[in-house]
Amino acid sequence: MNLKSNGQINYRLQYEKMDARLKNAHIIAHEFNLNPYDIDENWGDKQMADTLSFLNELHRKK
């Protein structure tokens, strides 16, 4: 959770992080014909990051 210096939650940063995660889930889902919401709910951040780096490597080799 992102906190401001006064202890309040910084919702803008929190939503940006959630948006980025959902975008990543949509990219992975598109590549593998999966449901992006299943990926978003069931995959950890490291698993998503590893999959995205794998896809980037594949695209570089093409």
Is residue 3 in some structural domain? no
pTM higher than the cut 0.85: no
Cβ proximity of 55 and 28 under 8 Å:
yes
Domain count, the chain: 1
Is residue 36 in some structural domain? yes
Rounded Cα–Cα distance for residues 40 and 1 (Å): 17
Is residue 26 in some structural domain? yes
Degrees, nearest 5: CA angle 53-27-57: 25
Q: Cα–chain-centroid distance for residue 52?
A: 9
The dihedral over CA atoms of 30, 31, 35, 37, expressed in degrees to the nearest 10, equals: -80
Per-residue pLDDT tens digits for 17-58: 888 899 999 999 999 999 999 999 999 999 999 999 999 998
pLDDT at 2 over 70: no
User: What residue numbers bound the domain in which 37 lies?
Assistant: 11-61
Residues in the chain: 62
